[in-house]
């Protein structure tokens, strides 16, 4: 979705048309915006009384988990549960995939050991080579 024009530019265009008597097509060329955009701003002004852009929705996946400290506490209380079980225990309607993304965001991992271990074969080879 493209970014909305600044509120300052919107006001300047509206003032140029209403107060200075500039035609919409002239304002369109002068400010480098389309006439349709100017028309939409006038419709917005008549509907709401202002030309501020409408608030946009947050981008990305659903933002059902907003209190991250509470979620960390929930995960530490239920570390052995599956993501599906966590989704059922979490308050509100939430999917296991949302739980998965949230676990990744807080850095929670299912691995039992923090460091990867070398295989036994490599250890025996290292000791026989160094002897």
Q: What's the CA gap between 80 and 107, in Å, rounded? A: 16
In a domain, 128, yes or no: no
Is residue 17, in this structure, part of any structural domain at all?
yes
Put simply, whether the predicted model's pTM sits higher than 0.75 gets the answer no
Mean pLDDT of 102-112: 82
75, 44: one domain? no
Residue 119: inside a domain: no
Residues 72 and 42 in one domain: no
60 located within any domain = no
The arithmetic mean of pLDDT across residues 25-42, rounded, is 94
Could you tell me the pLDDT band of residue 4, with boundaries at 50, 70 and 90?
A: confident
Q: How many residues does the chain have?
A: 131
Instruction: Name the domain count of the chain.
Output: 2
83: which residues sit within 8 A by CB, 6+ positions away?
96, 97, 99, 100, 103
């Amino acid at each position: 979705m493209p970014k909305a024009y600044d509120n300052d530019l919107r006001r300047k265009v509206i003032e140029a048309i209403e107060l200075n008597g500039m035609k919409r097509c002239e304002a369109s060329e002068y400010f480098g915006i389309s006439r349709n955009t100017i028309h939409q701003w006038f419709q917005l002004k008549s509907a709401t009384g202002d030309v501020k852009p409408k608030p946009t929705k947050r981008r990305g996946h659903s933002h059902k988990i907003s209190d991250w400290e509470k979620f960390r506490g929930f995960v530490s209380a239920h570390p052995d549960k599956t993501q599906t079980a966590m989704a059922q225990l979490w308050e509100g309607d939430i999917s296991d995939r949302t739980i998965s993304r949230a676990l990744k965001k807080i850095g929670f991992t299912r691995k039992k050991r923090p460091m990867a271990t070398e295989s036994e074969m490599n250890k025996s080879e290292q000791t026989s080579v160094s002897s």
